[in-house]
Amino acid sequence: MRLRVAIDTTPLLGQATGVGVFCQGALGALAARPGLSVRAYAVSWRRRHGIDALLPAGVTPRQRPMPARPLHALWSRADLPPIEWFVGPVDVVHGTNFVVPPTRRANAVVSVHDLTPLHHPELCNEATLAYPALIRRALDRGAWVHTDSSYVAAEVVEAFGADPARVRAVHPGVPPIPAVSDALASRVLSQVLPPGVDRYCLAVGTAEPRKDLPGLVRAFSDAVRAPAEVALVLAGPPGWGERALDAAILASPVRQRIVRTGWVEPEVLGALMTRATLLAYPSLYEGFGFPPLQAMLAGVPVVATAAGSLHEVLGEAAFIVEPRDHDGLVAALHACLHDEQLRQRLRAAGTVRAALFSWDRCGDGLEALYRDVTGDARG
């Protein structure tokens, strides 16, 4: 049976986020599957046609206009209007970002990428604080749950009392890093790094409290107090953790070697990622974590915390420390910056680890989930 699947691709609009990266990779994997007919929709009135150029071959954009704010308000308290009003008859609708619309006949899947609002509400903004109610609403309507990790799947079962048989972990693949020429890489680094610095620790992520970038700044400052030709490069857009991050940088004795790039184009990120001495990912909580796997794929050693699903995802291929462990993070950064044998060991282990995650496997898992949701085991 060829299943008709409608997928929410709203996260593709605007600057790429982790959810947008998941959507792009999953769509590419699903579009090539002969057993699926995939159509895309965006919950947006003005920008809905913006997804058309972002969809892979084989995915059809099909919808009537969907005003985001009124619909989200309605869906949070009522079962109308059903998604079929906007996309036509489908077998499965997959809400990729914590929200799945009500349906008339279609089966529903909602992606829950993490449960930060439940565990760390102090790290959230107003929009993300609404997610738990939306998840519960979807479960009450009979939706199945997709998560990026077994860690988050177990959290969903515990937090919402969801049926474990209807909560499925499917690991994403690793987002590809654009290949960059030596000339482009040299030009990027000459514009980013302070004069005389040719080695750097890279961090990738939005300046939000969950990423603990202020903690990384303090640990980096203690790890490189002695003169060293090494910098800290923070690549990512501003967020609601700006004040704390600015304060940490201002207080750092090596602040002249701390660089913020803001959001960067994929090619620039590719240059920064592939030339980094190491990647630091000191998150306080994660549902998956793309940047460490991207670094491993590029042969870059990784220092990360054991927060949320990170140990599940990274295994023993990263130098793992506990969240908020300042001394542990200082020691890990110092070791990776000064011990070439350690870096070589992490590079080798990381390459093997990153190869375990592919978009083809993700597509396999999602198609199996859709068939289980509809009761079609034939494929």
CA torsion 238→329→333→195, rounded to 10°? Answer: 40
What CA–CA distance (Å, rounded) separates 368 from 221?
Answer: 48
Task: Give the pLDDT confidence score for residue 227 in this predicted structure.
Answer: 57
Buried b (16+ CB within 10 A) or exposed e, 344-358: eebbebbeebbeebb
Task: Give the pLDDT confidence score for residue 377 in this predicted structure.
Answer: 56
Q: How open is the CA angle 152-157-162, to the nearest 5 degrees?
A: 130
Residue 370 CB burial class (10 angstroms; 0-12, 13-18, ≥19): buried
Fold agreement (3-173+358-374, 182-354):
yes
Adjacent-strand bridge partners of 214: none
CB 57 within 8 A of CB 23: no
Reported CATH class of domain 3-173+358-374: alpha beta
Domain residue ranges of the chain, discontinuous segments joined by +:
3-173+358-374, 182-354
CA 319 and chain centroid, separation: 20
Task: Give the pLDDT confidence score for residue 74 in this predicted structure.
Answer: 84
Prediction pTM value: 0.92
In which residue ranges of the chain is pLDDT below 70?
A: 226-227, 377-379
pLDDT digits (tens, 9 = 90+) for 362-371: 999 999 999 9
pLDDT digits (tens, 9 = 90+) for 188-199: 999 999 998 989
Q: Does domain 182-354 have CATH number 3.40.50.2000?
A: yes
